[in-house]
Amino acid sequence: MEGVKSIILERKGEKDGFAERFGKVIPNGSLIFIEGKEGTGKSIFCQRFCYSLLKNNCSCSYVSTQFTIKSFLRQTASVGYDVRKFLMAGKLLFISTEVTLAETLPRKTFLEGLITGRKLFDPEIIFIDSISTLLKDSLNNENLTDLTSFFNRLTGCGKIIFITANPTEWPEEIHNTFRMITTIHFRTSRETAPGIGIVYNMYLEKFNGARFKYDPITRFSVRPGVGLIIESSGAAF
């Protein structure tokens, strides 16, 4: 199918089921926003999306405010999303902001550093996890337009951009702007379900230009060596 990227993940002849719940494909030129508080699963979903896209022959760059390259490779391997061969083959570019930007630039200049990082935006798909952590000291209502215009130029060229954000890390006005301008809007949540206890849900709040049907809510868990698992309890769907 032209003009889209598949997010189907198949291993040993079995699909993990998330692609079918999330619309199977992502249109080129999409801006995907994954929001949620700390510890709700934003990063593991980025890793899962990145792994499936790499396996489907896409090139990706991944900016992390949490992991170094060693800890990222260790983390992805531990949940069954081992990306080492893609990194070695040049299909994945990984950038740790704590190792690069943080050592050379004051945090108030991170926005400029992001926008001028040309090599970062060469691949077909870009992950920024998390943009609120990265830009909380440099992004404001005055320069927000610079960033959104930059993203618009990239998506206008067919790039797909994934960004994650914690709503508690920056102003509500900025957070709401990203909710409005994104093509696809996910929200992760840690909740208490009656009779069950703590559960994790992924809400698909918006999907402009969806080619296939999608589900508005998916309950999930994370299993070592396997990654994300759909929880199929009756209360989930």
Q: For the chain, give every domain's residue range.
A: 4-230
Nearest to 42 by CA among 214, 147, 189: 189
Q: For residues 228 and 226, give the distance between their C-alpha atoms in angstroms, rounded to a whole number.
A: 7
- Which structure tokens are listed for 56? 């489907």
Q: Please give the model's pTM, rounded to 2 decimal places.
A: 0.92
- Which architecture does CATH list for 4-230? 3-Layer(aba) Sandwich (3.40)
Q: Is 205 within 8 Å of 52 (Cβ atoms)? A: no
- Tens digit of pLDDT at every position of the chain (237 positions): 789 999 999 887 888 999 999 999 999 999 999 999 999 999 999 999 999 999 999 999 999 999 999 999 999 999 999 999 999 999 999 998 875 554 555 555 667 777 777 788 899 999 999 899 888 888 888 889 999 999 999 999 999 999 999 999 999 999 999 999 999 999 999 998 887 788 999 999 999 999 999 999 999 999 999 999 998 743 332
Cβ-contact 126, 91 below 8 angstroms: no
